[in-house]
Copies of this chain bind each other. A is one copy, B any other.
C-alpha cells in the first residue's frame, strides 16, 4: 500500500494517515499550534532537512490543514497558518501528548503542561461521548463498518 492508495481507503484512520501519518508532518503541525508560521523557524526548531520540510508543508497545505499566505511582496514571502480543519486536529494532538506523557517515559519528567486560558489550572484531557458524557474506551465501544450489523471490535 502506498500513500496514494491510503487516501482512498474506506477506513477514516487510513485516510487520516494519508495526510498526517508521518512524524515530520505531525511535528510541523505541533509547532503550528505553538505559533510557528515561517519556513526558517520550522527548519531551525525541528532540525528537519529543508527538502523534507518543503514537502511536508505542501502535504499539510494540500491536506487542508495549513493555508499558505503571502505576508509581504517584493520579494513574495509566505507563511503557513492553520485552517479550521487544522485547528480541528488539536484534540488528536492533545490526546497523543497525553498518552505519551503517561506511557512513553521521559528522563526529564513532565515537560509540557496544558493549562486553561481562563483559570490557569492544568488540564486533564479525557475523551467522552458528547451526548452521554461517558468516557470512550475500548471496552464500552464497538466499531461498525457501514452495513455491518455486528462484529467484534475490541
Contacts and interface: CB of A to CB of B under 8 A. Distances in A.
Interface residues of A, number: 92
A59 to B, nearest CB: 12
B34 A13 contact: no
A111 interface: yes
Contacts of A142: 114-117
B1 A13 contact: no
Contact of A23 (B6, B139, B141): B6
A134 B7 CA distance: 33
B108 A63 contact: no
Contacts of A48: 1
A91 B119 CA distance: 25
A93 B126 contact: no
Contacts of A103: 64-65, 85, 88-89
Contacts of A35: 152-154
A91 B140 CA distance: 12
Interface of A: 1, 3, 6-8, 10-23, 26-27, 30, 33-35, 46-48, 63-65, 82, 85, 87-104, 106-119, 121, 123-134, 136-146, 152-154
6 contacts: A12-B104, A12-B112, A19-B100, A35-B152, A91-B136, A117-B154
